[in-house]
Amino acid sequence: MAVYRRVSEVLVRTGWLNVLRRSSSATRGLKVGESNPNITASLKITTKETLKDDSILPFSAFLTDNFGRRHNYLRISLTEKCNLRCQYCMPEEGVKLTPRGQLLSTTELLTLARLFVREGVDKIRLTGGEPLIRPDVVHIIAELKKLEGLKTVAVTTNAINLARLLPKLKEAGLDLINISLDSLVPAKFEFIVRRKGFHKVMEGIDKAIELGYNPVKINCVVMRGFNEDELLDFVALTENKPVEVRFIEYMPFDGNKWNFKKMVSYQEMLDGIRQRWPNMEKLEGAHMDTAKTFRIPNFKGQVGFITSMSDHFCGSCNRLRITADGNLKVCLFGNSEVSLRDIMRSGASDEELLHIIGAAVGRKKKQHAGMFSISQMKNRPMILIGG
């Protein structure tokens, strides 16, 4: 009972008891007693094992939202720290870092990962901050790879440490790599990331190709007046390298001096590239794909566009995020977060945690507020919410 009381206290403190109650009818398979604080007794548990609906595969009710979206993809931020200072991600003066004791420990992180995988998550992406500066990143990947049901472990990295670490990461089981690179001109790269390191990133890309990653994804945030003149050079990289260059529409975040004019839309990028390569053909995308992908005949690699702003993919969003300080975020553009760390540290059981997660997923909105509203929204900087 002491544990239940502690859980209830945390729920009341964080406002989540009300959330649970309000969202209970909306969260399929969950029932919340109106006034009973004993969460376990008042909730009817429906797990992946017991839920049989009309779909092909059973999927956890906790990870299914009110619009039928199944969240099988979890992004975990390993750290808030970074060895670069990208202008669009991080304010120049840096961000206020969470004290160490308030960050998830490796054991807590793996406990959460195990829970999500048990409920049906089959892909985990490690992000940050810069995930490869976490000292035990190799250990974390090796442990994640032991989770039955987890098919893919991916990492999004700025690649400064990649060439050095990749052999070990690969041995640990790393499946996919996304590398961020916004300019192919060293001086421009150093201007945008406010640090040196262009050649290390290029080495990282080559090492990933050498070790057989295919495609190596290269994320390029396109900003008017900065790198939109390099689009063709990025596309040309796909001629001889098995890379997927993915152009990302610049997104607004607190501190990145969002200016709508800086965003280059998907259509504008596509038109520009088609002038040079009119025969670039669209590839059939999987339902959950966030990128619209293309290939130029006879090129080894491909080109993708992440249209988070001009043509959002909320309808097929299957992602959840856990921040380095243990908050669950159901939408990158929403500011509602729930602290799984506090719930865990209060001694909650897996089932109790699941109900909190289920309630948060149940409150996920149908779509984000649209690009004009997002640019006005208060949100934590990208670096703190784990890209």
Rounded (5°) CA angle 96-98-104: 150
Closest CA to 250 of 228, 280, 276: 228
Mode of pairing for the β-strands spanning 302-306 and 243-249: parallel
Among 63, 89, 162, 361, binds ligand SF4 (CB under 6 A): 89
Q: Pattern of binders to ligand SAM over 339-378, x per CB under 6 A?
A: ----------------------------------------
Is 250 a binding residue for ligand SAM by CB under 6 A? The answer is: yes
Closest CA to 109 of 69, 139, 130, 148: 139
Place of tokens 């040309």: 236
Among 87, 127, 293, 346, binds ligand SAM (CB under 6 A): 127
Smallest separation, CB 324 to ligand SF4 (Å): 11
Spatial contact of 222 and 282, defined as CB atoms under 8 Å apart: no
Among 85, 139, 145, 365, binds ligand SF4 (CB under 6 A): 85
Among 7, 17, 86, 103, binds ligand SF4 (CB under 6 A): 86
Among 90, 112, 179, 322, binds ligand SF4 (CB under 6 A): 90
69/207 with CB nearer ligand SF4: 207
Smallest separation, CB 78 to ligand SF4 (Å): 11
Rounded (5°) CA angle 121-356-376: 85
Among 82, 110, 153, 179, binds ligand SF4 (CB under 6 A): 82
- What per-residue string of b and e applies to 350-370 under the rule 16 or more CB within 10 Å gives b? eebbbbbbbbbbbbbeeebee
- Reading the block at residue 97, the tokens are 């870092």
Give φ, ψ of 267 to 5 degrees.
-60, -40
Interface segment toward ligand SF4; rule CB under 6 A; list 71-79, 83-91, 236-244, 360-368: 83-91
Smallest separation, CB 98 to ligand SF4 (Å): 15
Is 371 a binding residue for ligand SF4 by CB under 6 A? The answer is: no
In a 13 Å sphere around the CA of 27, the CA atoms on its Cβ side amount to: 29
Residues facing residue 221 across a β-bridge: 248
Smallest separation, CB 158 to ligand SF4 (Å): 4
CA distance 155 to 166: 11
65-84 positions binding ligand SAM, by CB under 6 A: 82
Torsion region of 118: left, alpha or beta (phi above 0 gives left; psi -120 to 50 gives alpha): alpha
- Does a cis peptide bond (omega within 30 degrees of 0) precede residue 215? yes
Is 180 a binding residue for ligand SF4 by CB under 6 A? The answer is: yes
Interface segment toward ligand SAM; rule CB under 6 A; list 105-113, 125-133, 184-192, 284-292: 125-133
Rounded (5°) CA angle 374-380-381: 90
Is 251 a binding residue for ligand SAM by CB under 6 A? The answer is: yes
Among 130, 143, 244, 352, binds ligand SAM (CB under 6 A): 130
Is 248 a binding residue for ligand SAM by CB under 6 A? The answer is: yes
CA distance 31 to 43: 5
Spatial contact of 347 and 338, defined as CB atoms under 8 Å apart: no
Is 84 a binding residue for ligand SF4 by CB under 6 A? The answer is: yes
72/256 with CB nearer ligand SF4: 256
**How crowded is residue 151: how many other Cβ atoms within 10 Å of its Cβ?**
12
Q: Pattern of binders to ligand SAM over 77-116, x per CB under 6 A?
A: -----x-----xx---------------------------
Is 183 a binding residue for ligand SF4 by CB under 6 A? The answer is: no
8/161 with CB nearer ligand SAM: 161
Binding site for ligand SAM (CB under 6 A): 82, 88-89, 127-128, 130, 156-158, 180, 219, 221, 248, 250-251, 253, 256, 382-383, 387
Binding site for ligand SF4 (CB under 6 A): 82, 84-86, 89-90, 128-130, 158, 180, 383
